Structure 1
C-alpha cells in the first residue's frame, strides 16, 4: 500500500495539468507507462572512473519493467545492469558506468521494456535526462594514525606489566595448600636489567608455533570485528554513501595488520642467541624474542581495531573496538607470564624441552 502512493500522486498531477507546486521536481514526461523524475541528476565519480547515478522512477503499468540508461557522451561506457521497478510502484534505480573526468552535464536518455520481454514496446520510447558526475569523496587515510597514537602504547601496556610481574614471581603464586611444598620463588633481579631479555626459554621448542598459538588467538578478535562492522553490505547500510572510501581504508588497515602480525614469528628468530655448549646453534627462543613478537602482534591487532573504528566513526564501532581491546589485554596479561614460565621452567631433567600448550 505505501509503495503505491507515489503512483497515485503522479496520476493526480497529470490530471490537474498545471505546473507542479514549488518544491516538487518536474516530471520529465507526461503520461505513458513510466516516468523519470526531471531536473538535474547528480552522480558521483571515483578516481578510477567508476561513476554511479541514482534516478527516481515511477512505473505506471501493471507489469514489472526494466530501465536502461544511455548517455550520448562518448566518454562514458554503457551503463551496466538493468534495474527494475515493479508494476504500479515507484522507487530509486541506480546505474553504474565508467566515465572520463569532467563536470559538464552529459545528455542521455532512459528507455524501458517489460522484464523478460525486450520486444514489448513501452511509451515513451525514451525519456531525455542530463547527468552531472561530481568527484567522489577521496579516501581519508587519517584513521591509520591510530597504529602509532593508540595501538603502540596499548601494546606496551599489554606486554610490559605482565613481564615485570613474571620477574617478581617467575613460578607464580604460592599454592595455598600446606600439602604442596613451596617452590623456589626467588625473584629475578634486578628487574630493570636488560640482560634478562637474553635468557633462554628451553621449554619452548620447535613444537611450539608462535603464529599458530599466540598470534592467531590475538588476531582473531580483529578479524571478527572487521567481519561484523566492515563487511561491504553491512558497512554500506551503516555509513551510506561513504562506504566506498571507508572500505578502502579498512582494507588497507587489514593488509597492514596482516603484514605486521605475519612478521611476529620472525622476531623470535632474530632475538635468538647462539651458545658454545649448543654447538654454536641458536636452539632456544629468548624472553626478549617472545616479548618483541608479542608487541608486534598487538600493535597490528590494536591498529586494525581502532583504525576501522575511526574510519566508521560511529559509537557502536568504537565501543566494540574498546571491548575487544580490553579482552585482548586481559588475555595478554595471562598468557605472557604463562608462556615465559613454561619456556623457562618447562624442560624435564633430561634437558629435552616439552612443547607449550596450544591454548596459549
Structure 2
C-alpha cells in the first residue's frame, strides 16, 4: 500500500473552521462497513443505532492550552512552543517553531518572565526537550499564557476554549482533542445510558502523531509516535462484560479505538493497564476488541484515514468520503461525523 492509495479530493471550503453552537446537531453519515450502504442522519440520531448491552468507549483526556508564544532571550525573535508530552522535573517534549535555531541552551521567555524555557536536548527535526522555570503552579500559568493548540487547518480564532474539549474531559495531558467526542452533549450521554448502553472511560493523551503527516510512500515504513494511555480495572470490566453478554464495543474516535486495541489480549478482552502505545492500524489489521466506530472525517493520506479503512475497506471508505464531499459535509476537527457499523444495525435504523 502506498500513501497515494489514501488520497482523495477535498474542496478547501469544506474544512470546518468553527464548531456548531449545538454539539449534537452535526450531520452523521451512517456507513455499513460490510456492504458500503449508507444513510444521512443528524448526530443525535446515534442513539437509534446503539443497542442495550453495547459498550460505548470514550476517551476522557483533557486538552491543555499547550500552545505558547514567547521570544528568544537574546534576539527577542518570536518562538512558538507546542507542549507534547510531560517528562520529569518540569521537562516537556515540545514542537518548536522555528526549530532550526532552537539549539541546546536556547532560552525562551513567556509573559514577561512569568515562564522561562530552556532547550536541554534535541530529539528530531523541530522536537526538543525543554526545561521550564516558574514560580507557582505550572497548570495555572499555562492556563494564563497558553492557547488551545488548534490544528493548522483551522485559521479562525476559537471564541470559547471549552468547545475544543469534550463534555467528559477529565485528565489533562493532550495536545489535541479526541474530536469524535466533541459531538456529544451531557443530555445525549444520559439518554444513551438510559437505553441500557454501558459507557466506559479510557484515557489516551493525544500527542505528536496528530500533527505529523505521513512522509513515506510505503505506509508500512511509517513510525507512529508513542502516546500515553491508561485503563482502570472498573472500565476494563465494563468493556469485557459487554463483550461476554453479546454487546458490541463502540469506540468514540480513533484514540479510544487505539487504546482498547493496545490493551487487549488475543481473545479480545481488555486488561487494566497503563503505558505508551505506538500502535499503527491500517488495512489488513485484525481488530481484537472493536466492533463499531464513531469518528470524524479525516485528512487525506493520514494514519486516521488508514485506521478507518482497516475497519471496513479502503474502497468503501473512500466512496463514503466522496459521498460526504458531494453532500457538502463538514470535514476535520470541527466537522461532521461518521458511524461505521454493521449490516444489522443499518437495517434497524431505516
Q: Fold match, TM over 0.5?
A: no
Structure of larger gyration radius: 1
TM-score w.r.t. the length of structure 1 is 0.26
TM-score w.r.t. the length of structure 2 is 0.26
Higher-helix-fraction structure = 1
- Greater RCO (CA < 8 Å, at least 6 residues apart): 2
Higher-strand-fraction structure = 2
